[in-house]
Amino acid sequence: MSQTILSTSQPNLKRKLVLGGNSKKEVTTESLKLPQPTGWRLLVLPFQMNEKTKGGLLLGQDTLERQQVASQCGNVLAMGPDCYKDTKRYPKGPWCKTGDWVMFARYAGSRIKIEGGEVRLLNDDEVLATIKNPEDILHEY
């Protein structure tokens, strides 16, 4: 049974993501190192698939990097101060919040390289859906 846990300790914004039974991925985000979204933008960490397939094969680093670039879902790390504030465009309120898993178009947003991968800056209207578990989505590139 796969499991998704997101925990945050506020002082240094350390996030621990646990995806799947044996796969543990930890992402440390320090507010000085990551860009803070402005306006109506969201900072999203794209989903990274497991390094090992269900059949036990280890995937190469190049394959993992290509998959992350083409990923269509990610975790919302931060939101700009104007996200979802326009009541005419969003009469029912925000589509997502910090900590949610969201889906977006394959090549949406601006890609920013960070240590260990990349993050994306998306406009608030580029979120297509929210999902409970990114492992339920078929990830192809």
In a domain, 98, yes or no: yes
Q: What's the confidence (pLDDT) of residue 102?
A: 96
Does the pTM exceed 0.85?
no
All residues at 6 or more sequence positions from 27 whose CB lies less than 8 Å from its CB, including other chains: 15, 16, 17, 45, 116
Residue 8 has pLDDT above 70, yes or no: no
pLDDT > 90 fraction of the chain, expressed in percent and rounded: 42
In a domain, 54, yes or no: yes
Chain centre to alpha carbon of residue 122: 11
In a domain, 13, yes or no: no
Total domains present in the chain: 1
In a domain, 20, yes or no: no
The tokens describing 94, both together, are 């925000």
Instruction: Report the mean per-residue pLDDT for the chain.
Output: 77
> Which residues constitute the domain of residue 131?
35-136
Write the DSSP assignment of 59-120 as a string of letters: PPHHHHHHHHHT--EEEEEEE-TTTT--TTT-TT--S--TT-EEEE-TT-SEEEEETTEEEE
In a domain, 28, yes or no: no
pLDDT in tens, 80-124: 999 999 999 999 999 999 999 999 998 899 999 888 778 999 999
Q: Check which CATH number belongs to the domain holding 71 and give it.
A: 2.30.33.40
Q: How far apart are CA 17 and CA 6, in angstroms?
A: 5
In a domain, 92, yes or no: yes
- Find the distance separating the first CA and the last CA of the chain, reported in whole Å: 25
